Structure 1
Amino acid sequence: MRKRPTAIFVLGAFLALVSACGQAKAGTPLPKGDDAADYVGGKFEQVIGKLEDSITDTRDVTNSLDAYFKFDDKWVHSTVTSARTGSPENRVVRHRSLKNPDEIIDTYTPADGPVEYTYLGPMYVQKGVSPTAWVSMPKPEAGLVQPCVWGGVLTPCRMADSTVDAYRADKRAVRGAKSLGDGKTALTVNVPFEVFVKNRVEILPASVTSLIGPELNKAMVPTTITLNPDGSLVSFAMDAKFGGDSHQVELKYEFKFTGPASLQDMPKLPDAAQITVLPDRAAMDDFYRRLGDAQGN
């Protein structure tokens, strides 16, 4: 999470599209296929330079991500829930593995003070990553400069970056736009699996990427952005199942804003004696090395 990703957060672009799409009456057909590319393209180009501002300005919210990826018989499934509130801002991100319930990593950045905190589940404590479940470390000097640095939107940023890349490579990637029965609007974009892998929506080990050939690379990952009538985001999802190069791939990612955030969403810290202090960069680097070893990276 400390390395700045190159992703561009595209959700703001599609929120702006509702000025055209969202005013259709419920059930009104909207363009599909090549017509959708022309319908959406002009609006998209108008706002593409303001994408980061659109997510930076989204404050006092909670969100969630459900992420599932399977390659042949290897699979991972996790959830990420997060909240950000206040000014200056309090932030918390909670990672949960649905494959191993003891694989837990939470990060908490309080608005006050010079440190932030990490909570480790039993798996990491047992593997010697830290003698205590709670760890403290200095806050990044630059703070939350770029929205995609924050773990609460890291994977959605990469999903969005993939969508932008697919659109820039071929505007016909926009395959459908429709008004839903409840007044919402859904836009579908086809993202090549090669782009999904390149942008590290799921960070795959070399043992998997080495098996991905031309057939899998060309497979399409349908990506659906669903908006409320007022332009607010309902969900941003990737969902696909395909085969190629003698392998099978299944993936499903869904990101959504889940409501307003408050200080009640922030964790309660334990006594200081139960928190391992990482005082400087050297201690932090050693901590992240052990964490990576425990994750098998």
Structure 2
Amino acid sequence: MTARTTIRSRTRLTALLCAVALLAGACGNATAGTPVPNGDEVSSYLSAKFSDTLQKLSDSLGNNDTRKSVQDTFARFDQKKINSTITAVQLGHPPARLSKNHSNQDSNEYLDDFHPANSPVEYLLLGPVYASLAPTHWVSMPYTAGDYNECYWGGSHDVCKMLGAIDDSVTKSKGAQSANSKADGSIELTANVTMTAFLDNSVITFPQSILDQIGPEMKTKSFQAKITLDGQGKLTDLQLGGTVTGDGHELEINEHYRLDGVPTENDLPKVPDAADVTVLADSAAVDDFYNRMGEIQDR
């Protein structure tokens, strides 16, 4: 398995809103250091708070808050591994966005996606593994995300998928375990994430050859998630992982998203020189580019 870009992938906004709202609102009435009920009771408690917090979180997401984050992804299916890190910056109003998707197994495998604020195009820096895709270091393509929220860019796409899996597990499988408020006003929540929810939300994009080997026994298993929200209900840390076995195979997962300080202009690259940019002018050129990228990633 190799690290895979999330640049073109899209996930539903509802999953993020539902999951974060469900969880952040759960502890609105909890006192510092006090757990709310466990098991079935916490699942019902979390769900009951959803409608009260949805609008607030929707407004917050629409504000495109300045943030800097890191997400590490490790997955091992028997002896095949994925090990990559996405570092991301969102800065300004309207935001400039940078997401750097780098393999931790091969330093030559990376893709850096940069959208300057208000730019009609976004830029993609190709690591040496992808050098055959263009005669220059960078390619540009029309920026089509418009006013979509963070779920529609590489810096937050994967965390949205994790939250979608947590939401499905809490609402469909009563996966919520505990919710505790801390003395500093932060909230820590834990939940079981079913293998079905993990796969349905494509938290990690496995090749079909691996999906075909995940059978009924393994699909009954679950991973553990821990979510940390600050005193204002802002997601600051999310971990999802564990090791499951079944059908003669073993799957180990370790996903970790966290905020990483306050970004500045120094965290963003300069717009690349036109001489070092291959222009993908229309959807046909973009589709061809990503089809060829997929062929490289599937090797």
What's the TM-score once normalised by structure 2's chain length?
Answer: 0.88
CA distance in 2: counterparts of 1:278 and 1:92, whole angstroms: 19
Picking from 9, 12, 17, the partner of 2:26 is 17
User: The residue matched to 1:243 in structure 2 has which SS?
Assistant: strand
2:284 counterpart residue number: 282
1:246 counterpart residue number: 248
The answer to whether the 8 Å contact 2:61/2:149 transfers is no
CA distance in 2: counterparts of 1:265 and 1:237, whole angstroms: 25
Structure 2: 5+ residue stretches without partners = 1-6
The answer to whether the 8 Å contact 1:59/1:84 transfers is yes
1:130 counterpart residue number: 134
Shift of 1:58: 4.2
The answer to whether the aligner puts 1:162 opposite 2:168 as a matched pair is: no
1:223 counterpart residue number: 225
Q: Deviations over 1:227-258 (max 9, x none)?
A: 23343323111111111111101001111222
User: The residue matched to 2:134 in structure 1 has which SS?
Assistant: coil
More displaced 10-residue stretch of structure 1: 238-247 or 228-237: 228-237
1:154–1:58 distance in 2 versus 1, CA, 3 Å:
same
Shift of 1:280: 2.1
2:151 counterpart residue number: 148
1:203–1:51 distance in 2 versus 1, CA, 3 Å:
farther
1:148–1:180 distance in 2 versus 1, CA, 3 Å:
same
CA distance in 2: counterparts of 1:6 and 1:295, whole angstroms: 24
1:35–1:17 distance in 2 versus 1, CA, 3 Å:
closer
User: The residue matched to 1:99 in structure 2 has which SS?
Assistant: coil
Shift of 1:66: 0.9
The correspondence of residues 36-75 of structure 1 with structure 2, limited to 5 A, is: 36-48=42-54, 52-75=58-81
User: The residue matched to 1:153 in structure 2 has which SS?
Assistant: helix
2:143 counterpart letter in structure 1: K
Runs of 4+ that moved beyond 6 A:
none
1:32–1:236 distance in 2 versus 1, CA, 3 Å:
same
CA distance in 2: counterparts of 1:139 and 1:40, whole angstroms: 37
Q: Give the fraction of aligned pairs with identical amino acids, expressed as a percent.
A: 34
2:135 counterpart letter in structure 1: P
The two structures, once aligned, show a CA RMSD in angstroms of 2.2
The answer to whether the 8 Å contact 1:11/1:55 transfers is no
The answer to whether the 8 Å contact 1:129/1:294 transfers is no
Shift of 1:103: 0.6
Shift of 1:3: 4.7
CA distance in 1: counterparts of 2:237 and 2:243, whole angstroms: 20
Structure 1: 5+ residue stretches without partners = none
1:137–1:195 distance in 2 versus 1, CA, 3 Å:
same
Shift of 1:159: 0.8
1:113–1:188 distance in 2 versus 1, CA, 3 Å:
closer
The answer to whether the aligner puts 1:91 opposite 2:105 as a matched pair is: no
Count of residues in Structure 1 that have an aligned counterpart in Structure 2: 290
